[in-house]
Amino acid sequence: MALPELMAFIAILILRGLTKVPSMSDCWSANLGNPQIIATMSQNRFKDIMQHLRFDDRDTHSERTKTDKFAAISAVWSSFVTNCITSYNPGRHITIDEQLFLSKTRCCFLQYIATKPDKFGIKFWVACDLKSKYTCDVLPYLGKDTSRPSGERLSENVVLRLMKPFLDKRRNVTTDNFFTLRSVAQRLLRQKTTILSTVNKIGREIPQSSRQRHCNEFTTQVFSTTGAILTVYAPKQEKTVYVFSSMHSVVQTENTTKRKPNTITLYNTTKCGMDLMDQMVREFTVHTGTQRWPVAVFYNMIDKAVLNAHVLYQARTGRQDRWVDFLVELARELANSHEGVKKARKEELLRQQPSTPSPGKRAICQVKNQCKNNHATVRCVECYRYTCGKCRREIPLQCQDCK
């Protein structure tokens, strides 16, 4: 399979996400089919590519799986992540959160999370730019990692690995309470990066004096340590919210009834980057049912790559096209080169055939516009197909001036 045909295959995946039909065969049907899909590739060829879609070398697969659980797609995945990092310069605020990509395929790192809408899937750690929703970096969760340094917790390792390409630029990272550790904040501060996150109230690093069960409504307590502060805010009578920040040196409350501190306000503004990105991706996802987990990862890769392409397109051109319009235009451009190759190959094959049938042989009309199976003796001068008298249009006479 050549590269133009692979691009056309991805274009059909994108268009299938736009046209919601009951089954894959309906994309090529006369009533429900998409004309752009029908013109790009035949249904049998698409199924053939899907059936044999692989991302690694089978000769060395068993050898690499001993040290890499992600070996079936790790080479392609590494190229994708590298392109994400090098193609865009994110803003000041980066959000880190987990993503559960729906999949029920059999693999050793399939996750079940009861609080997620999809329940089952492959988990990814994602660093997302807050303003543009660009996927800056992403890591798959493969279970126990033997390469992680001893004594380093999983949350600390994930934050430092995702933020490694973006350190020393005075950025801020927003996380939830899973990633909040004082040691993480200190290591990020040494590389000119701050952190803003919620904290679990039963955490070991929470001061005992802040764990009061009965707090007055709209009250704020502030605890400070080296390079960071902890804000304890009570939005309700028996509810408290803990926010850890290394980017604030002073906590100020709003001059309103709720008297909300600025650390809470900023966290509410910056925490939604990953959720909005996931919402945009799910709207027109290329994901469909599959029994192979590398194909499911490939679907997730395409979803993220398409959204990143939209962000880069807007940044380069300054245009604010609709998300659905961009997807249609992207699919058209991906399929153009393959359609051109198909047309050139077809014309070349037709040119190699004689313009008239060989003596003693009779050709069938290939146009069949006004006939069924008439015999033909000449070809069309444009498409080189055999054309009978009913399907042929004679060129009218012209004067010398018009010629």
The Cα 382–Cα 361 span in angstroms is 23
- DSSP-based three-state secondary structure for 364: strand
280: its two tokens: 């945009």
Q: Which residues have a Cβ under 8 Å from the Cβ of 86 and sit 6 or more positions away?
A: none
Provide the pLDDT for residue 401: 66
**Average pLDDT of each block of 10 consecutive residues along the chain (403 residues)?**
91 89 85 87 91 88 86 92 94 92 88 88 93 92 84 88 91 88 87 90 74 75 86 85 88 88 90 87 87 92 94 91 91 89 78 65 82 83 80 71 60
CB 366 within 8 A of CB 386: yes
The Cα 143–Cα 167 span in angstroms is 26
202: its two tokens: 């039963």
Provide the pLDDT for residue 166: 92
Can you give the pTM of this predicted structure?
A: 0.81
Provide the pLDDT for residue 118: 85
Provide the pLDDT for residue 212: 65
Strands 193-198, 171-175: pairing kind: parallel
Provide the pLDDT for residue 398: 63
Q: What are the C-alpha distances in Å from 191 to residues 163, 188, 310?
A: 10, 5, 31
Provide the pLDDT for residue 8: 93
Report helix angle 3-18 to 293-317, nearest 10: 90
